[in-house]
Amino acid sequence: LIPYVVWEQVKGEEEEENALEVKETKVKGKSGKFFSVKLPSPLAPGAKVRVSVEMVFTHVLQPYPTHITQSEKQFVVFEGNHYFYSPYVTKSQTTRVKLASRNVESYTKLGNPSRTEDTIEYGPFKDIPPYSQDTLKVHYENNSPFLTITSMTRVIEVSHWGNIAVEETVDLKHTGAVLKGPFSRYDYQRQPDSGISSVKSFKTILPAAAQDVYYRDEIGNISTSHLLVLDDSVEMEIRPRFPLFGGWKTHYIIGYNLPSYEYLYNLGDQYALKMRFVDHVFDEQVTDSLTVKIVLPEGAKNIHVDSPYEINRASDELHYTYLDTFGRPVIVAHKSNLVEQHIQDIVVHYTFNKILMLQEPLLVVGAFYILFFTVIVYVRLDFSITKDPAAEARMKVACITEQVLTLVNKRLGLYRHFDEAVNKYKQSRDISTLNSGKKSLEMEHKALTSEIASLQSKLKTEGSDLCDKV
């Protein structure tokens, strides 16, 4: 695990909010990483400016001894530089090393350092030439948890129906001194200082609106966790299934739902998703490799990603899930060596036609429609191989009787008309209208009766006894 410069940030002393622009450069003939910083205003000769530089290194503390038993304390070695490695002359410099505990085994003594309880102060050194290096080595006790996330996968699934689902798969490993020998549960529970460098639990801070949080692994739900909902965040105290000693690893999956109105912004058809690239897992976290997958709804086009720092984008994939026809676009990004300072927002811009949102319900409706339609058609089809004469005759008879019924009903209607005409005559004593009405009615009556008679004869041919009833 090579020490690696992970994070560089330069701030001007006056304006604490704004960070100055930092770019990586190269200097000919000298090894190491060089950065160029842009000052807010040009510096006049003889003028002074105060700058503060913050650098984070990972895997710099090496456990020494590398293997310890359960009852021993953990000691680490820090190797650094006494002087400030810069291309400029340093007039005066002090180095202060702040340690995690008071128990220091050994430290390099350059320039008579002074030592308080947990800090060692070297200096002040005067007039140091540029590019000067001198190894600083401190061997001290450090029992703070040395957890590393060896690999983490973060999947963010965006749905325009109002929900964003986030799932993180985390592989944790204890990278401190490796446990040698047996693990005694009795000592661990009864002796207070047994296994002090082991990790029992840690706190994960989730976004404030997180709901339906689940914490599980390959064999099921992990029951040892506590959720605390606060005003501005959701704190989850996670206890891995077993305490992590040196060299032990574990794996878990944590997931939650977020409302989309907090993270998804839109103007017409243009949408912007603003979410954190990596989220808080535990304080002062170190992630060796991270994969982020953002699943956008079907039909998202013109995808454009704005990230606050360099990320490696792999090619976009397609993800198929419920009610998908042509797959959802997935943005895949990788990054290695991340720390807590990398928790920043990443913005994804895309266009999405709002009509496409109807695609999902219409798909369901269409499926049911086809199903019912097929059933209706199928029921009415006749797949019999032989012609069954009796059944056919019955069907014909049924058809004819239906026709007879309609005619009889029409005749009944005629009677009603006749009744109405008679009533009118009673009221108006108009014989002529009565007679005309009567004639038309009688004509219709005759026509209907003849039709009924013809149908009756047809029935006779069929040989049915219904004609008698008629």
Partner 1 sequence: VYFAGVMVRLMLTLTPVVCMLSAIAFSNVFERYLGDDMKRENPPIEDSSDEDDKRNPGNLYDKAGKVRKHVSEQEKTEEGLGPNIKNIVTMLMLMLLMMFAVHCTWVTSNAYSSPSVVLASYNHDGTRNILDDFREAYYWLRQNTDEHARVMSWWDYGYQIAGMANRTTLVDNNTWNNSHIALVGKAMSSNESAAYEIMRSLDVDYVLIIFGGVIGYSGDDINKFLWMVRIAEGEHPKDIRESDYFTPQGEFRVDKAGSPTLLNCLMYKMSYYRFGEMQLDFRTPPGFDRTRNAEIGNKDIKFKHLEEAFTSEHWLVRIYKVKQLDNRETLDHKPRVTNIVPKQKYLSKKTSKRKRGYIKNKLILKKGKRPNRKTV
Binding residues for partner 1, rule: CB under 8 A, are 181-186, 190, 217-220, 222-224, 241-242, 247-251
Q: Which is nearer to partner 1, 321 or 423 (CB)?
A: 423
Write down the least CB distance from residue 358 to partner 1, Å.
39
Q: Smallest distance, Å, CB 61 to partner 1?
A: 23
**Residue nearer to partner 1 on the CB measure, 224 or 428:** 224
C-alpha 266/C-alpha 139 separation (Å) is 55
* φ/ψ (deg, to 5) at 22: -125, 135
Q: How far is the CB of 247 from partner 1 (least distance, A)?
A: 8
Only one residue has tokens 């305490």, namely 243
Whether the bond between 329 and the residue before it is cis, its omega within 30 degrees of 0, is: no
Q: How far is the CB of 60 from partner 1 (least distance, A)?
A: 26
Q: Characterise 340 by phi-psi region: left (phi > 0), alpha (psi -120 to 50), beta (else).
A: alpha
Of 65 and 413, the one with the shorter C-beta distance to partner 1 is 413
Do residues 16 and 350 make contact, with C-beta atoms less than 8 angstroms apart?
A: no
As measured in angstroms, the least distance from the Cβ of 232 to partner 1 is: 28
When the beta carbons of 239 and 349 are compared against partner 1, the nearer one is 239
Which is closer to partner 1, CB of 11 or CB of 216?
216
Counting Cα atoms < 13 Å in the Cβ hemisphere of 414 gives 19
Measured from the CB atom, the residue of 162 and 181 that comes closer to partner 1 is: 181
Tally of CB atoms within 10 A around 301: 11
Strand 202-206, strand 34-38: pairing: unpaired
User: C-alpha distances in angstroms, 467 versus 383, 414, 447, 470?
Assistant: 31, 23, 19, 5
For partner 1, the closer CB: 98 or 190: 190
Q: Which is nearer to partner 1, 62 or 150 (CB)?
A: 150
Q: For residues 467 and 453, what is the distance between their CA atoms, to the nearest angstrom? A: 10
Residue 408, SS3?
A: helix
| Nearest distance from C-beta of residue 280 to partner 1, angstroms | 23
Secondary structure of residue 470 in the 3-state scheme: coil
Closest separation in Å from C-beta 187 to partner 1: 8
Residue 92 beta carbon to partner 1: minimum distance, rounded to whole angstroms:
51
Q: What's the first-to-final CA gap in the chain, in angstroms?
A: 102
Name the nearest CA neighbour of 235 among 220, 222, 254. Answer: 254
